[in-house]
Amino acid sequence: MTDTCPPNCAHCAENPDHQSAHQAVVEALQVMGAYPEASEDEIVQLLQARGYSAIVAEKLNAFVPSALSWPLLKRLGVEGFVGHFIAFDDNDQEVQIPVSSQHYFTAALMLAYNTLEDGWSEELPHSTFVSVTQKSPEMNAANKVLNQGGSLEGGTIGPLQLFRLSASEVLGQASS
């Protein structure tokens, strides 16, 4: 997968500033909220139609649902969150990528925490929050435990594994 946008494209920045990452997260939420039944492929295509590169669209597709689920899972009793994602390199070896290095994830996480503290907003309405968190693998696993009568109290969430992006793409080292 390669980016096809010109250099310095605000939609495709390898290391966006917080404001750019926040705006991308808000746009991803608009797409995900407007199309709650859309597949991952459809979400990525819709984000690309808004001008995002394939790699950034994939990052938003993966990170936004997961980031939104973390504060909710914390409120449900989860105590530990692994501080990295797992992606695979060209030799199919696992690469641990720090969560803090991914601005789209941290911007979505901040928005989720602020929303749960301050209330629903135009940026993140309740219906969008519910439909987007249901797309996260973390929430899916938690719901299975809860539906079987289990508890999340004291639990730990393992690392998100990224299968649609290589480690070099996540780290911004993909060739263009």
| Gap between the Cα atoms of 118 and 92, Å rounded | 42
Residue 10 clears pLDDT 90, i.e. is over it? no
pLDDT tens track for 34-69: 999 999 999 999 999 999 999 999 999 999 999 999
pLDDT at residue 15 in the model: 67
pLDDT tens track for 79-101: 999 999 999 999 999 999 999 99
Percent of the chain at pLDDT > 70 equals: 89
Average pLDDT over residues 145-170: 94
